[in-house]
Each structure stands twice: as C-alpha cells, then as structure tokens.
Structure 1
Amino acid sequence: MLTEVNATRYVTPLREGGSLPGIVEADNLGTYVMKFTGAGQGRKTLVAEVICGELARRLGLRVPELVTIQLDPVIGLSEPDEEVQDLLKASGGLNLGMDYLPGSIGFDPLAYEVDAAEAGRVVWFDALINNVDRSWRNPNLLVWHGDLWLIDHGATMIWHHNWPTAQASAAKPYNASDHALAAFAPDIASAAAALAPLVTEELLAAVVADVPDEWLAGEPGFDTTDALRRAYAEPLLARAASIHERIVFDAPARTRPSQAPGWLADRLTPRPDRAKSTNDKDGVK
C-alpha cells in the first residue's frame, strides 16, 4: 500500500496542469505535488496515476514517490483564488501526492540526450499503458540530478473510461510518432525482451492493490473492488506480451524549435547533432 500522510499546508497551485494540481506540505515533513479527487477528470485519473506510476517503478523506471494524502479543506481558506478554494472544498478526504523534486527542470528533446536503450524502455512502457500524453508538445518528463524522471500518468489506460469496449481498445496499436523520445532511435526490441517477462499476474496484482478501495467503489458493471482490480490488470497483462509488435512510428505531425533558454541548454547534456548550432546561436565559437 502507498504511504498515507496528512496535508498540513497548501503552498501554491500549479497552473500548468489542466487539473490544477497544487504543492502541499505534509506531516512527514515532505513536500508533494497533490492531485485532487475533486478535479474535473475525477478519481479515475488518480487510479491511473497509481497503477501506471507504481508499475513503472517496479519495472525500473524513475517515477517520483507516490503517497496518499488526507486533506482537510480548511487548510486552503487563505487561498485567494476562488477556483482553488472550490477545488479544495470538493476534495476533502483522500487524495494523491507525488514527491516534489526541487530543482528539476522540464525535459527538452533538443537539449538533453537520451540513449536508445532508455528511450526504448520509456516508449515500450508508454505503449503498454497507452499513454497519450508524452508527446513533444507535453513530454511529462523531468530532468533531475541528470536523470530522466517520468511524471503524470493520468491520461493512460483510456479503456477504463468505457469498460464494455476495454478489450477491443486495449488490443489497438500504439502510435509513437509524436512521442517525446521518438527522435532518439528507441530500442523497442531490447526493452520488450527485458521488461515484458516482468509483467506477470503477480506483479499486476501487487500494483492494483495499491489503489485505495474508495477510489474504486461504485464503478458501474462491477460488484466488488476486487473484480475491478482484475479488470485493470487483464489488459496490461495481455498487452505486455505483444505490444512491441504494434508500436507505430510514422512521420511526426510537425517539428518545433527547442524551448530551452541558453542557460538551460548549457546545464543539460546537448545532443551531438545540435551542439554546433546551439553554440553558434548563443555566440559561442
């Protein structure tokens, strides 16, 4: 089970995210990015965050620690933004927290080099969970202490929004053409050989067990939370065996220039084919 903590102070909203997550401090002295049950996407977003985040961790990918956070809405009364206050009022009880990585910076594919092996593992994992939100438009990747970290898995396993069509939806290919790491020649075959055997019934049972019962209760079509947990595990188990054969790389929708300022490019590891053009632009010879 995930560690449970209590929110002690609401620090600030993060307006980059569509669900309006916020930074909170907790009674274990930790600082977390908090995602709320009262947000527009609802509790299924939090279920996806737990299942996919904990699965990634067990497969050896870097994901910030996840915790559940008890929230008393009273801690947000001093927040002047009415939208934030309404969100806090609607989210009393158990919410989700992601360890805040101080000093981390957003991944830029034109400023940071990722080797083919790591790129392959991330693309294969995103294909497994059908992550539609790891494109160059919105990578949902952080660089922290020189390492790549995966965040924000709420837009995954889209079949859980319509369970009657889950089997057909889970059988579809994964289009990685616009994936944030597509340009790094991801080694999908090696990733599949290493990771697919790890995705077992036992592993998935352990992962889905981390989801709090109250986020699963009352799902239409399921008499028990155990039945719903099995429904989450089954498509992932089936996809793990063959999804590497159904990852599609077409031409990306379009390209874009790097958004990284000069100081950021200097701190990150430049891609070899970009180094000269970046230095010329910054006036470095």
Structure 2
Amino acid sequence: MLTEVIATRYVTPLREGGSLPGIVEADDLGTYVMKFTGAGQGRKTLVAEVVCGLLGRRLGLRVPELVGIQLDPVIGRAEPDQEVQELLKASGGLNLGMDFLPGSLGFDPLAYEVDPAEAGRVVWFDALINNVDRSWRNPNMLVWHGDLWLIDHGATMIWHHNWPAAAASAAKGYDASDHALAPFEPDVAAAAAELAPQVTEKLLTEVTAEVPDAWLADEHGFDGPDAVRRAYVETLLPRAATIHERIVVGAPTADRPSQAPGWLTGKGAGE
C-alpha cells in the first residue's frame, strides 16, 4: 500500500480546476500537493491518480512520488476561506499526496523542447490511460531541474465511471491531435515497442494493489476491492498491446472546447 504520512499544516490552496487541491506539510518533513476525498470529483479521481501515477513511474516516466496523507479536519480551523474549511472537514482520514516540486514551472512548448522519443512515450502512455486532460489548453506538465514531469491524472480511465461499458470504451482509439506534445513529432511506434511489453499482468496487479481498500469499497457490481482491482488490470492489459495502432495525431483544433469532463474542470455544461 501507499506510504502514509500525517498532515501537520495546511499551507495554501491551489486554485486551479475544480478539485481545489492544497499544499500541506507532513510529519515526515515533506511538502505535498494534497488531493481530497471530500472534493466534488469523488474518490475515483484519487484511484486514477494512484493507478496511473504509479504505472507511469514504473514505466520510467517522471511522475511525482505519491503518498497517502492522513488528515485530521481540525487542521483547517484557522483557514479563513469557508470553501477550504468545508473541504477539509469533509476529508478526514486518508487522502492523496503528490511530492511538491519547489520552483517548477508550467510546461511551455515555446520555451521547452521535447525530443520525439520522449514525446512519443508520453503520448503513448496518455493513450493507454485515455488521458483527456493533457492538451495544449491545459498541459498538466511541469519542468523541474530541466526535466519534464507529468502531473494530474484524475481525468484518466474514464471507463471506470461506467464499468458495464468499460471494455467497449477501452477498445476505442485515442485522438492526440490536441495533445500538448503533438507538435514535437512524437515517435509513438518506438514508445510502443519499448513500453507495451512492460505492461504485464504482474505489473498492473502490483500497481492496483497500492490503491487503498477504502477508495474501492462498495463499488456497484463488485464483491470487494480486489475484484475492482482486477477490473482495472483486465481493462488496461489488452489496451496496452494495441493502443498504438489507434492513436491519431492530426491538426490541432483552435476552438474546440476541452474534452475534460465538467466535473474535473469545475465548469458546467454551458460554460
């Protein structure tokens, strides 16, 4: 299971998107970006962060270290923002933390060059997990110490919001035309040859085992957390073998709205 730490101080909210993550300090003297179980997106966002974040790390991609963070809601008593106070009160217990990268900068394609091999690995990985939120509108990548880091995987594996249709959903292709790294001529074929063989049943079983039981409990149609974990394995494993054949990189759209769901971006259907 994830290494667990205890939040000792809530530092500040990060007002981006709809989940209102915050920076916290913990008893291991680490500083983390914390995502809350009480946020409107629900626990499946945290499950996606764990499964995809750990999978990315195991494949050699740069993803910040993940930990479980135990939160006592009393930590928010001094927080003047009522919205933040309510979020902290609703998130007592185990939450998710990502290592804070101090001094990192948001990815800018005009300032940072990505070679086709690295671009290919990221695009292939995002196709595998069906990441709809790494576009030029919202890259969800940071540059830290000269390297590219991948963050925010909550809007992935959309099929886990409707398990009965998961197999059909996961069999679909991936349109990377608006991907933030599409302009760098990603070498998807080379990435598939390198990474797809690594996505084994054993690897996926190890990664999904890290998801806390509490975030998988009471899933409709399953008899327990292990059955849910197995569903993730059975969905991702066949996709890894063939998704490179269904990745489309065309001309980017200039005005099409983001494919990220409204519950993630914090915007309603009419916005």
Which of the five TM-score ranges fits, normalised by the shorter chain?
Answer: over 0.9
Structure-2 separation of matches of 1:2 and 1:94? 11
Shift, 1:84, TM fit = 0.3
Find the structure with the greater CA-based Rg.
1
1:170-209 to 2 correspondences below 5 Å: 170-209=170-209
1:51-90 to 2 correspondences below 5 Å: 51-90=51-90
Q: Normalising to structure 2: TM-score of the pair?
A: 0.93
- Listed one character per residue, the Cα deviations across residues 181-205 of structure 1 (whole Å, up to 9, x for unaligned) are 0000000000000000000000000
- Listed one character per residue, the Cα deviations across residues 86-116 of structure 1 (whole Å, up to 9, x for unaligned) are 0000000000000000000000111110000
Shift, 1:139, TM fit = 0.2
Structure-1 separation of matches of 2:65 and 2:213? 20
Structure-2 separation of matches of 1:135 and 1:110? 15
- Listed one character per residue, the Cα deviations across residues 143-198 of structure 1 (whole Å, up to 9, x for unaligned) are 00000000000000000000010000000000000000000000000000000000
Q: Which residue identity does 1:138 align to in structure 2?
A: N
Shift, 1:17, TM fit = 3.0
1:221-236 to 2 correspondences below 5 Å: 221-236=221-236
Q: Does 1:251 align with 2:256?
A: no
2:112 alignment counterpart? 112
Structure-2 separation of matches of 1:171 and 1:196? 16
Tell me the secondary structure at the aligned position of residue 75 of structure 1.
helix
1:10 alignment counterpart? 10
Q: Which residue identity does 2:106 align to in structure 1?
A: G
1:30-45 to 2 correspondences below 5 Å: 30-45=30-45
Aligned-pair RMSD on alpha carbons?
Answer: 0.7
- Listed one character per residue, the Cα deviations across residues 195-221 of structure 1 (whole Å, up to 9, x for unaligned) are 000000000000000000000000000
Structure-2 separation of matches of 1:249 and 1:60? 23
Flag as ranges the 4+ runs of structure 1 deviating above 2 A: none
Tell me the secondary structure at the aligned position of residue 2 of structure 1.
coil
Tell me the secondary structure at the aligned position of residue 119 of structure 2.
helix
- Alignment gaps of 5+ in structure 2: 256-271
Q: Normalising to structure 1: TM-score of the pair?
A: 0.89
Q: Which residue identity does 1:26 align to in structure 2?
A: A
Q: Does 1:215 align with 2:188?
A: no
Tell me the secondary structure at the aligned position of residue 40 of structure 2.
coil
% of aligned pairs identical?
83
Deviation larger for 228-237 or 195-204 = 228-237
Structure-2 separation of matches of 1:135 and 1:13? 24
Structure-1 separation of matches of 2:21 and 2:70? 15
- Alignment gaps of 5+ in structure 1: 256-285
1:143 alignment counterpart? 143
Count of residues in Structure 1 that have an aligned counterpart in Structure 2: 255
Structure-1 separation of matches of 2:122 and 2:209? 23
